[in-house]
A = this chain, B = another copy of it.
Amino acid sequence: MIFELTVLGSSSALPTSTKFPSAHVLNIHERFFLIDCGEGTQIQLRKAKIRFGKLNHIFISHLHGDHVFGLFGILSTFQLLGRKSPLHLYAPSGIESLIRFYEDHFGADDAYPVILHSISGRKVQMLFEDKMTEVLGFPLKHRVPAYGFLFREKKRPLNIRKEVLTKYDLSVKQIREIKEGKDILTDSGEVIPNTGLTEPPYRQRSYAYCSDTMIYEKNISLLHQVDLLYHEATFLHKDQKLAKLTGHSTAKQAAIFAKKAQAGKLLIGHFSSRYKKLDELLQEACSEFPDAESVEELKTYRIDPVRIVRE
């Protein structure tokens, strides 16, 4: 029941000697989702000891170089490793010509399929779902079409307490109903409330990625009470004009956004390379939202499973 984020790259457009461009990888129950793919992502993945074979879904926020230049290398490495399973790539419309270029110049005839999920429009949209997880794409506000991503666990069936199965002679239908939250009526006419039959459920964990973007208030309700929020904070608030001009946020703005969304924790990054004292960006954020942290590359941020306390 793992739900953990590993930050692979945290720089803004200009990487430094210690910071790679944007890339995050989210592990939900051993399914790995790569979010953005700046230059060097594959090298960082190796450092983080994440197996390439476990990576089947890549989400790209927007088509600026510092978020996509690592794609070519990773596509090529998959090929060299003999990948056969499909790779799903979710990215703003326009990704088609990048992939066509790659395939024309560096692809192989026997390559694994790359399945493109092109994103457009200004609506929140379900990009991926399986039994346990869903991923929503939502519009950001940048110089080019850009999307944020909300990853969250789905509501899971309740777990029946071990002793219940031995105590009662349950039918398949009853077991299904208990898992759905229903009470049962025994043959003797007794009603057993569901809370006596099942373990308290786990809270549904969530992670949201917002980069690159100015503050976009419309997303506050969608991200209400998100456990972990990554929001870019390219500039200090004294440079807010520059932030606006370039379609970015300040640390203060990111923190106010997190406060309004009642996020559990805020991660900031994508700092402009103009700042030498990065502490100032974090201080600025913390003054508005104390549970803020500057992302560190190759650090893992884990959200532990928490059972909901029943009244």
Contact = CB atoms under 8 A, between A and B. Distances in A.
Interface in A89-110: 97-98, 101, 105-106
5 contacts: A17-B43, A17-B49, A66-B76, A69-B76, A72-B72
Interface in A40-63: 40, 42-43, 46-47, 49, 63
Nearest to A52: B14
A20 interface: yes
Nearest to A21: B73
A16 interface: yes
Interface of A: 13-17, 20-21, 39-40, 42-43, 46-47, 49, 63-66, 69-70, 72-73, 76-77, 80-81, 97-98, 101, 105-106
Number of copies: 2
A65 B106 contact: yes
Contact of A73 (B16, B42, B65, B105): B65
B98 A13 contact: no
Given A15-B77, A69-B76, 19 more contacts: A13-B80, A15-B42, A15-B43, A15-B73, A17-B43, A17-B49, A20-B43, A39-B40, A39-B43, A39-B69, A39-B70, A39-B73, A40-B43, A63-B105, A64-B106, A66-B76, A69-B69, A69-B72, A101-B101
Nearest to A65: B76
Contacts of A80: 13-14
Nearest to A12: B80
Contact of A40 (B40, B49, B101): B40
Contacts of A72: 39, 65, 69, 72
A77 to B, nearest CB: 6
A16 B20 CA distance: 16
A112 to B, nearest CB: 16
A49 B16 CA distance: 10
A56 to B, nearest CB: 19
Contacts of A64: 106
A131 B29 CA distance: 63
Contacts of A63: 105
A20 B66 CA distance: 18
Nearest to A81: B14
B65 A46 contact: no
Nearest to A73: B39
Contacts of A73: 15, 21, 39, 65, 69
Contacts of A98: 105
Contacts of A66: 76
Contacts of A47: 17
Contacts of A17: 43, 46-47, 49
- Residue among A21, A65, A69, A101 with the most chain B CB within 10 A? A69
A127 to B, nearest CB: 23
A233 B99 CA distance: 32
